[in-house]
A and B are shown apart, each in its own frame.
Chain A
Amino acid sequence: MDFRDSETVLGPQSADLLPASATTAVKIVIVGGFGVGKTTLVGSVSEIRPLTTEETMTQAGAGIDDTAGVELKTATTVAMDFGRISIGDELVLYVFGTPGQERFWFLWNGLFEGALGAVVLVDTRRLEVSFDVIGRLEDRGVPFVVAANTFPESPSYPLDELRAALDLPDEVPIVQCDARTRESSRDVLMALMRHLYNLSAPPGR
């Protein structure tokens, strides 16, 4: 909780300030296992250096009774990286990366409330985490797309094989990406937006 690096200025640098006219913010969530490239993707599209916010988790679970002091003593901290894209003078898009493992799902309540949708970032070498995440998003009714991050050493599967391996419904888009490049990461967010747009199409069209 102390200052962890040489950054001594508390608060945003002047280049990172939003215009006073910024009135509306929306968010997208990138979910994936450890080391799958969530922070890389966030950093690729963000106009600010990615930031880290923290949430505390209590062993007992919050909200049972008024034993705040006792409860806090067993608190554990989980960090989430996020970035920002100014869409115009008034609209700001935030992109949050969050770990997919079940023990971090307590973070999801505040995170997915009001979120436009999610990107499930997949490492083709380790699909296990993605199964749980996809199931959980479907349960919660969160619209999502799947993006397979390309690692130099990862085997390259055709997307339809990957779709079958993930047991992904036909209507959920799946794309390949290189989270290290801005264009490719941007295209992942675009794929999600197009999917949301199609979902919001009035019936009968």
Chain B
Amino acid sequence: MSAADQDWDEGNPERLYVITRGRRALAERTTFDLVTLVVSRAEPTPTMQPEHAAILRICGSPLSVAEISAYLRLPMSVVTVLLADLLAEERIEARAPVPKAILPDRALLEAVMHGLQRL
């Protein structure tokens, strides 16, 4: 049984509300995909909100938005608000996933198949 199958809990909405200062993720959703790779471009500073600092700290090497959400144990919707803050301040770099046309590029598929073959 996977964790995903059991986790259907009431969250802690008040805490999340504080972290984002009540802001919503609607606009940011278009900027950040689950697999957008994020890399720090600045060091955390002592005056920063702890969650912002934590993101800069763990993104020394590229991490997907999903991984950031997992490591910080924050919902995607909260993480994308925080990432949008950092992106606006140019403290992170966001490497967007491949834009998908109607079907994925054949060269990309070949690369993935080649990689899977080696597993």
Check B8 against A77 for contact (C-beta < 8 Å).
yes
Q: How far is the CB of A17 from chain B (nearest CB, A)?
A: 4
Check B116 against A81 for contact (C-beta < 8 Å).
no
Contact among A11, A38, A54, A82 for B75, CB-based, below 8 A: A54
Chain A 95-138, CB-CB to B under 8 Å as 1, else 0, gives 01111000000000011011110000000000000000000000
Residue from A53, A76, A87 having most chain B Cβ neighbours under 10 A: A53
Chain B 81-119, CB-CB to A under 8 Å as 1, else 0, gives 000000000000001011110011110111111111101
Residues of A within 8 A of B73 (CB): 1-4, 54
Chain B 6-17, CB-CB to A under 8 Å as 1, else 0, gives 011111111111
Roughly how many angstroms separate A91 CA and B29 CA in the complex, as a whole number? 22
Check A75 against B11 for contact (C-beta < 8 Å).
yes
Q: How far is the CB of A107 from chain B (nearest CB, A)?
A: 9
Roughly how many angstroms separate A24 CA and B58 CA in the complex, as a whole number? 19
Roughly how many angstroms separate A193 CA and B106 CA in the complex, as a whole number? 10
Roughly how many angstroms separate A24 CA and B61 CA in the complex, as a whole number? 13
* Those 4 A-B pairs whose CB atoms lie nearest each other, nearest first: A39-B2, A87-B115, A11-B58, A51-B70
State which residues 7-48 of A face B: CB under 8 Å.
Answer: 10-12, 17-20, 22-27, 34-35, 38-40, 45
Residues of B within 8 A of A92 (CB): 35, 37, 64
A72 within 8 A of B: yes
A93 within 8 A of B: yes
Q: Tell me the number of A-to-B contacts counted with CB atoms below 8 Å.
A: 221
A168 within 8 A of B: no
Roughly how many angstroms separate A185 CA and B106 CA in the complex, as a whole number? 22
Contacts A53-B66, A72-B17, A193-B113 aside, 9 further interface pairs with beta carbons under 8 A come to: A1-B15, A10-B57, A12-B61, A18-B63, A20-B61, A38-B4, A68-B22, A116-B104, A200-B104
Residues of A within 8 A of B66 (CB): 51, 53, 82, 94, 96
Check B4 against A68 for contact (C-beta < 8 Å).
no
Check A97 against B2 for contact (C-beta < 8 Å).
yes
Chain B 49-73, CB-CB to A under 8 Å as 1, else 0, gives 0000010011011111011011111
Check B75 against A56 for contact (C-beta < 8 Å).
yes
Q: Across the interface, name the chain B residue whose C-beta is closest to A28.
A: B112
What are 18 A-B contacts defined by CB distance under 8 Å? A18-B62, A22-B37, A24-B98, A25-B97, A39-B2, A39-B3, A52-B3, A55-B75, A56-B11, A76-B9, A76-B11, A78-B4, A84-B67, A85-B115, A93-B115, A116-B104, A190-B116, A190-B117
Check B33 against A113 for contact (C-beta < 8 Å).
yes
Residues of B within 8 A of A18 (CB): 37, 61-63
Given contacts A1-B11, A53-B70, A55-B76, contact A190 B108 (CB under 8 A): no
Residues of B within 8 A of A84 (CB): 64, 67
Contact among A1, A86, A94 for B115, CB-based, below 8 A: A86
